[in-house]
A and B are shown apart, each in its own frame.
Chain A
Amino acid sequence: SQTIHQWPATLVQPVGSPLSLECTVEGTSNPNLYWYRQAAGRGLQLLFYSVGIGQISSEVPQNLSASRPQDRQFILSSKKLLLSDSGFYLCASGQQETQYFGPGTRLLVL
């Protein structure tokens, strides 16, 4: 089975600062990759997905962006964080309909 690594595990950032969250995958090749956000009181929301290197689809308008520089690397970025960006960010890797989730990064924007 696949193993999903995410770092950092926890991050506290001031409003207006940049962000870079990294996700790497082991145990598979050419997976679909996904970034989700789980905010307090809300369900898990799909932010971005990628079906291949350099191919990124955005699900919701926001000040975040995603990149996939390598087959098993997925990066979530922001140039200037907002308070509303606080939440629990989960990376997932999928082969067909099965998705495997990473341990998540908890982001607090102050």
Chain B
Amino acid sequence: KQEVTQIPAALSVPEGENLVLNCSFTDSAIYNLQWFRQDPGKGLTSLLLIQSSQREQTSGRLNASLDKSSGRSTLYIAASQPGDSATYLCAVSDSGGSNYKLTFGKGTLLTVNP
């Protein structure tokens, strides 16, 4: 059974700092990995999707890397802003089938202080 772990559970940084969020998964036979953002009491917004054959994806100040063999991914946020404060969730989709089920980590609660 796939398990996804995110470290740290919470992170507080001053504005402008670069930061890294970590995600690990137990079964390396994944189809893809996604990073989501969740604001308090809201739904999820997809940030980046990395296919299993890819090593990284970039969108603006966000960069996600994937090391499938070691079961790890990182989300790098450059020049953090107070608006980046949210919970960041990592999710993996297992190989095969057409259902594209996702297994989520518990998330990292990020607070960026002005």
Chain A residues with a Cβ under 8 A of chain B? 4, 32, 34, 36, 41-46, 49, 51, 57, 59, 88, 90, 92, 94, 96-104, 106
Least CB separation from A4: chain B residue: B43
Task: Find chain A residues with CB under 8 A from B91 CB.
Answer: 44
Interface residues of B, CB < 8 Å — how many? 25
Is B93 part of the contact surface with A, judged by Cβ < 8 Å?
Answer: yes
Query: Given the known A-B contacts A32-B100, A43-B4, A49-B101, are A101 and B106 also in contact in the complex, defined by CB atoms under 8 Å?
Result: no
Residues on B close to A: CB < 8 A?
4, 31-32, 34, 36, 41-46, 49, 89, 91, 93, 98-107
Asked whether A42 lies within 8 Å of B106 as measured between CB atoms, the reply is yes
In the bound assembly, the distance between CA atoms of A88 and B40 in angstroms comes to 11
Query: Given contacts A51-B98, A97-B34, could you give 4 more A-B pairs where the C-beta distance is less than 8 Å?
Result: A43-B104, A44-B89, A45-B104, A49-B99
